[in-house]
């Protein structure tokens, strides 16, 4: 029976939990808990099995200012923490794994530093190193969604697979943080044309979106990252994880 892993996202800027719409972090959202460590503990208490952390200071400025916070998140929960943002070298990967991060998510490095990217996959394994693509109008963007690359979505996904990647996080920038619904077709197209495990990110707004992914038996999507919809209580968290991960949608 099909199951979907629900992964709550914690987006960090200047040490605070922030809301992100189309890749642009918005600070001082009063409805959110500003403490990322406390937020991680809340999601764990709600029975999350994994937490996705995005570091916008690292992705936009190559800053390590939030690494202390990331370390405390990893120490505060007993579930895997995956981290994305500003990973440019194999040394960056090693530092994050030493902080306690279970899995690093690489985007820009795969395109700009392919040699070290492949070395990182080979050295640490494809369970600890995964890839991400940020897509805007069917084109891929890197460097914190500031620069477009020429490689097509499917071409890049296949290249990542050949490089040894097992899992790919697919984000539709247009839908990220907008609560307008996910781009299921984009993730399905990648899953259908590769052997990659696909995590959908961006646009999840409510229970029906999860049901649409769940009932499409051939979509190849086995997990989703949810941010804003969880923070704004669009569905009861306990029910989300219990139903989605047990495969008992009705």
Tell me: pLDDT of 250 over 60.
no
Mean pLDDT taken over the chain = 87
Q: Is residue 117 part of a domain?
A: yes
Whole-number Å distance between alpha carbons of 50 and 82: 8
Condensed to tens digits (0 to 9), the pLDDT of residues 161-219 reads 999 999 999 999 888 877 888 999 999 999 999 999 999 998 898 888 888 887 765 66
Which residue numbers are catalytic?
11, 134
Q: Is residue 155 part of a domain?
A: yes
Whole-number Å distance between alpha carbons of 114 and 162: 12
Structure tokens at 189: 């197209």
Residue 193 belongs to domain with CATH number: 3.20.20.70
Q: Is residue 183 part of a domain?
A: yes
User: Domains in the chain: how many in total?
Assistant: 1
Q: Is residue 250 part of a domain?
A: no
What percent of the chain is predicted at pLDDT more than 70? 87
Whole-number Å distance between alpha carbons of 68 and 157: 32
- Between 48-62, 80-94, 122-136, 154-168, the lowest mean confidence (pLDDT) is in 48-62
Domain with 219 in it: 5-244
CA–centroid distance for 142 within its chain: 14
Q: Is residue 249 part of a domain?
A: no
Mean pLDDT in residue range 75-85: 96
pLDDT at 163: 97
Could you tell me the pTM of the whole model?
A: 0.90
Structure tokens at 137: 């109008």
H-helix or E-strand spanning residue 226: strand 221-226
Q: Is residue 185 part of a domain?
A: yes
């Amino acid at each position: 029976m099909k199951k979907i892993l629900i992964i709550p996202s914690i987006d960090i800027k200047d040490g605070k939990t922030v809301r992100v719409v189309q890749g642009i972090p918005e600070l001082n959202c009063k409805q959110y808990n500003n403490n990322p460590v406390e937020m991680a503990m809340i999601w764990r208490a709600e029975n999350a099995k994994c937490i996705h952390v995005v570091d916008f200071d690292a992705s936009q400025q190559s800053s390590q200012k939030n690494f202390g916070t990331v370390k405390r998140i990893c120490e505060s929960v007993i579930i895997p923490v995956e981290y994305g943002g500003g990973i440019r070298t194999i040394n960056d990967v090693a530092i994050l794994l030493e902080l306690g991060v279970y899995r690093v998510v690489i985007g820009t490095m795969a395109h700009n530093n392919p040699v070290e990217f492949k070395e990182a996959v080979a050295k640490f394994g494809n369970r600890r190193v995964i890839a991400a693509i940020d897509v805007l109008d069917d084109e891929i963007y890197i460097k914190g969604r500031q620069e477009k690359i020429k490689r097509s979505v499917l071409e890049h996904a296949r290249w990542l697979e050949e490089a040894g990647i097992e899992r790919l996080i697919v984000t539709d920038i247009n839908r990220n943080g907008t609560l307008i619904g996910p781009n299921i077709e984009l993730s399905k197209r990648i899953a259908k044309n590769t052997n990659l495990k696909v995590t959908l990110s961006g646009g999840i707004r409510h229970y029906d979106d999860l049901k649409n992914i769940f009932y499409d038996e051939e979509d190849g999507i086995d997990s989703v990252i949810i941010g804003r919809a969880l923070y704004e209580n669009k569905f009861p968290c306990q029910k989300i994880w219990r139903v989605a991960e047990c495969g008992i949608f009705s």
